[in-house]
Amino acid sequence: MKTVKFKLYQSKRNRHLKRSINAAGVIYNYCIALHRRYYRIWGKHLNCAKLQAHIAKLRKRNSFWQLVGSQAVQDICQRIEKAYQLFFKHHSKGVRPPGFKKVRKYKSFTLKQAGYKFLGGNRVKIGNRVYQYWNSREIEGTIKTLTIKRTPLGELFLVVVVDGVVEPYVKSETGKIAGFDFGLKTFLTVSDGSEIESPQFLKQSLSAIKKASREHSRKRKGSANRERARLNLVRKHEDVANRRSDWFWKLAHELTDKFDVLCFESLNLKGMQRLWGRKVSDLAFGEFLNILQWVAKKKDKQVVFIDRWYPSSKTCSHCGQVLKELDLSVREWRCPSCQSVNGRDENAAINIQRVGASTLGLGDVRRDLPAITV
């Protein structure tokens, strides 16, 4: 399975797709309300098939709901069902049930086998209208789904999922393994002693974002000036997200080209978010790990995670002595057993590498060999 994304040309006819997305948002909220009402009355979960049959009857009497294809409505019901199943399975871990969404902020709807047709070139027929898109690449394989997605700026994208694509198999082996320690001051500390600093894109643009936010809040609600100020604020945030994502992709390719096995410590991102807030959001460790895992899988490399409770910072990488306590402000400490001086982050990265190697059965990793042959 592969996903490709295309941007639609700006056109007046795009308002029809935006109205369809709004209609999908209305149907979504109605389904959520129906689920809650059903549980309140009967004390049990509403079956997805019953919900789909009920919505299909209502669509026949509501012209606005008919802007959304029947398959898109089925997909909405199925996504709500998946969200509730996830809630039933993991509610003890803090997973919440699906809730209502603002219609103007609703993002997309999905078509499966019907409701669209690619006409060749850069034209696609959705419903009864033909739209043009930026045809940046050829669509290979069998099209499984087509999603029309709306961004906060009001731009529309086609997200196409295709199957049966044969990717060229290219594998480069370096024979190296490395451990990585995330940090707030240094984005990544590598077990070979190198450090990777984060550009902190949000911090760079924070003054411009604050100014745009103040200008937005001063405008009268419902006015055209407030809408222009909102779009300006959205552009600032989108620029930060795009620059960060671009840097993550380049860093992921750089690391996977250099190492065959990459070892990380599992992170409690929600806990870190509560403690350090905007700093953790700017570093976006979770987003980087998702991108790294995708790139590693494509290149046939391995990403290994060790237990978050392993004392990587408090364990001496020379002799294995474990300290009882180590304050976060201590960046360097002397081992009471072997008297070696350990830098907190580099020591943690070496220990993460050692534990990751033992997890894969690669044996021990010595201090003087930060990268071993696999």
The rounded distance, in Å, linking the Cα atoms of 207 and 57 is: 52
Over residues 266-277, the mean pLDDT reads 82
Q: 276 phi and psi, to 5 degrees? A: -120, -5
By percentage, how much of the chain surpasses pLDDT 70?
95
Kindly list the domain boundaries of the chain, sorted by start residue: 2-163, 177-198+254-359
CA dihedral (158, 162, 166, 171) in degrees, to 10, reads 60
Q: Which residue has the higher pLDDT, 214 or 183?
A: 214
Widest CA span of the chain, in angstroms?
80
Could you write out the DSSP letters of every residue in 92-129? GGTPPPP----GGG--EEEE-SSSEEEEETTEEEETTE
Could you write out the DSSP letters of every residue in 165-208? ------------EEEEEE-SSSSEEETTS-EE----HHHHTHHH
Residues 6+ apart with CB under 8 A from 301: 256, 259, 260, 261, 262, 295
Which tokens is 231 given?
Answer: 């779009």
Per-residue pLDDT tens over the stretch 235-270: 999 999 999 999 999 999 999 999 999 999 888 888
- pTM above 0.85? no
Closest CA to 304 of 271, 364, 342, 259: 259
Residue 367 scores a pLDDT above 70: no
Query: Residue 188 pairs with which residues in a beta bridge?
Result: 182, 196
The rounded distance, in Å, linking the Cα atoms of 115 and 143 is: 13
Please give the helix or strand (H or E) that residue 332 lies within, else none: strand 332-334
Per-residue pLDDT tens over the stretch 132-152: 999 988 888 889 999 999 999
- The whole-chain average pLDDT of the chain stands at 88
Closest CA to 176 of 315, 305, 302, 347: 302
